[in-house]
């Protein structure tokens, strides 16, 4: 079994009325595992569903509402702390979609707060966040040095009393990645929101999300990221998007994301062999919420590291992490 039923339900929620009990159990388990239960609840809306399902969907919507409220409060706190910054705090991912009331935010799970700031502002940003009560999540000298030398973000910070994590990005992808999106251009073209916040332009939002789905990472939670992209693509101007993607070195990735989103959540698309492999990875989830296709999943895990760093550096990194006791899940 794969996560097809979840994809079908999101694409065409009217079809869920035909599910039997075991079909519902499977759909709910995979939606929770992919962190799409709130989105699913939103898509199903007021359609008639069994009473037991209604209770679960209502819980999911209440959770999503609370998460959005907490996320926006956290963004507000960050904006307050970073008031001395020259320019707004640019929100990324879930918090950004919620702050701008985009369709991608409906029912969406929101985890950490992600913000983008100019790289030369980092020392000041760190100081301001410390002063406002944030601290490092963990202090491992190797990880810290690794983040600072090679990554696109600071090591995660957590707020001492609110217990919420902030990821401070200064660019889009790790500095070792093959693509080098133009973060300065993203910052320059960001769209201001009230209260010292801002969000990336419509095209840059898509490029940012696509970069993380297809040019980085191992596609954990990929169905949700692709759902974001599907929502963000709705209403985007194809020509402007293609130009912007080319500028960021992501033209190929954005075209692939458009095909994947159309294939899974839209009206279908002509797929390449590589598209089909990516889709097999994205759907590797069964009706108990378990990850399936272990070898394929592991291959994508290896690929994520391969994309991030040249071979010699990768070998050194994996050896160091292995000595510290880290094992892939």
Partner 1 sequence: MRHQLTLGIGPATFRIGSAWRQPLDQLARLYADYPQPSGTIADFTVRLQPAGFTRRWLRPSIFITGDHGLADAAPMSLAHGLLAAEMGMNLQMALGWRRHLLLHASSVERDGRALVMTGESGSGKSTLAAQLGERGWRLMGDEFALLDLDTGMIFPFPRLVSLKNRAIDVIAGEAPPERMGPLLAGTAKGDIRHLVPRADAIAAMGQGARPAMLIFPRFGPEAELRAVGQGEVFMRLTQASTNYVALGEPGFAALTRFVTSVPARAIDFPSGDAAIAMVEQLWDQLP
289 binds partner 1, rule: CB under 8 A: yes
Q: Per CB under 8 A, which region of 51-59, 147-155, 201-209, 261-269 contacts partner 1? A: 51-59
Identify which of residues 63 and 189 has a Cβ nearer to partner 1 in the complex: 63
Q: How far is CA 154 from CA 65, 98, 256, 283, in A?
A: 28, 23, 29, 31
Q: Nearer to partner 1 by C-beta: 156 or 196?
A: 156
Positions in 61-90 near partner 1 (CB under 8 A): 62-63, 66, 69
Cβ within 8 Å of residue 57, ≥6 positions away: 37, 40, 41, 44, 49
- Tell me the site size for partner 1, rule CB under 8 A: 22
Q: Sign of the C-alpha dihedral, residues 164, 165, 168, 172?
A: negative
Please give the span between the terminal C-alpha atoms of the chain, in angstroms, as a whole number.
Answer: 21
Told to check if 136 binds partner 1 by CB under 8 A, we report: no
Q: Which of 1, 17, 47, 55 binds partner 1 (CB under 8 A)?
A: 55
The answer to whether 52 contacts partner 1 (rule: CB under 8 A) is yes
Other beta carbons within 10 Å of 263: 19
Q: Tell me which residue of 199, 138, 127 sits closest to 165, measured CA to CA.
A: 138
Q: Which is nearer to partner 1, 68 or 104 (CB)?
A: 68
Closest by CA position to 108, among listed 51, 67, 168? 67
Question: DSSP class of residue 249?
Answer: T
Binding piece for partner 1, criterion CB under 8 A, among 123-131, 146-154, 246-254, 285-293: 285-293
DSSP count for the chain of H helices, then E strands: 15, 7
| Residue 162: C-alpha distances to residues 81, 158, 166 (Å) | 14, 8, 11
Q: Which of 11, 32, 247, 303 binds partner 1 (CB under 8 A)?
A: 32
171/166 Cα distance (integer angstroms)? 15
Output the smallest distance, CB 242 to partner 1, in A.
40
Q: With respect to partner 1, which residue has the nearer C-beta, 140 or 237?
A: 140
The residue among 127, 246, 224, 114 whose CA lies nearest residue 172 is: 114
H or E segment at 79?
helix 51-81
CB of 115 to partner 1, least distance (A): 23
CB of 65 to partner 1, least distance (A): 9
Which range, of 8-16, 26-34, 169-177, 193-201, touches partner 1 by CB under 8 A?
26-34
Q: Which of 1, 14, 15, 50 binds partner 1 (CB under 8 A)?
A: 50
CB under 8 A: which stretch of 54-62, 81-89, 270-278, 307-315 binds partner 1?
A: 54-62
Q: Which residue's CB is nearer to partner 1, number 15 or number 180?
A: 15
Q: Distance between CA atoms of 117 and 198, rounded to whole angstroms?
A: 11
- Residue 22 interacts with partner 1 (CB under 8 A): yes or no: yes
Q: Are strands 191-192 and 134-136 parallel, antiparallel or unpaired?
A: unpaired
Q: Does 28 bind partner 1 (CB under 8 A)?
A: yes
Member of 12, 59, 80, 140 binding partner 1 (CB under 8 A): 59
When asked if residue 288 is in the footprint of partner 1 (CB under 8 A), the reply is yes
- The answer to whether residues 6 and 36 touch, using CB atoms and an 8 Å cutoff, is yes
Structural contact between residues 317 and 146, judged by C-beta atoms closer than 8 angstroms = yes
| Binding region for partner 1 (CB under 8 A) | 21-22, 24-25, 28-29, 32-33, 50, 52-53, 55-56, 59, 62-63, 66, 69, 288-290, 329
């Amino acid at each position: 079994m794969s996560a097809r039923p979840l994809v079908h339900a999101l694409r065409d929620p009217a079809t869920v009325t035909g599910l039997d009990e075991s079909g519902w159990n499977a759909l709910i388990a995979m939606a929770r595992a992919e962190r799409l239960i709130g989105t699913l609840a939103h898509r199903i809306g007021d359609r008639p569903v069994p009473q037991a399902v209604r209770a679960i969907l209502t819980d999911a919507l209440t959770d999503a509402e609370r998460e959005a409220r907490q996320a926006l409060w956290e963004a507000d706190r960050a904006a307050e702390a970073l008031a001395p910054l020259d320019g707004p705090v640019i929100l990324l991912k879930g918090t950004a979609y919620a702050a701008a009331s985009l369709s991608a935010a409906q029912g969406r799970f929101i985890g950490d707060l992600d913000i983008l700031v100019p790289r030369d502002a980092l020392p000041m940003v760190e100081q301001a966040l410390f002063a406002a009560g944030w601290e490092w999540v963990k202090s491992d000298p190797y990880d810290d040095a690794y983040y600072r030398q090679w990554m696109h973000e600071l090591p995660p910070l957590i707020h001492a009393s609110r217990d919420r994590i902030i990821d401070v990005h200064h660019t889009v992808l790790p500095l070792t990645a093959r693509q080098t999106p133009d973060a300065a251009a993203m910052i320059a073209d960001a769209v201001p929101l009230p209260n010292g916040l801002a969000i990336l332009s419509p095209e840059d939002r898509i490029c940012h999300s696509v970069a993380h789905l297809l040019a980085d990472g191992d596609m954990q939670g990929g169905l949700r990221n692709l759902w974001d992209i599907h929502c963000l693509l709705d209403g985007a101007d194809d020509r402007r998007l293609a130009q912007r993607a080319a500028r960021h070195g992501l033209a190929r990735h954005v075209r692939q994301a458009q095909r994947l989103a159309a294939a899974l959540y839209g009206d279908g698309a002509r797929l390449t062999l590589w598209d089909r492999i990516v889709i097999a990875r994205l759907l590797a989830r069964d009706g108990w919420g378990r990850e399936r296709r272990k070898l394929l999943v592991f291959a994508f895990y290896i690929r994520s590291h391969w994309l991030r760093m040249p071979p010699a550096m990768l070998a050194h990194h994996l050896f160091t992490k292995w000595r510290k006791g880290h094992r892939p899940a």
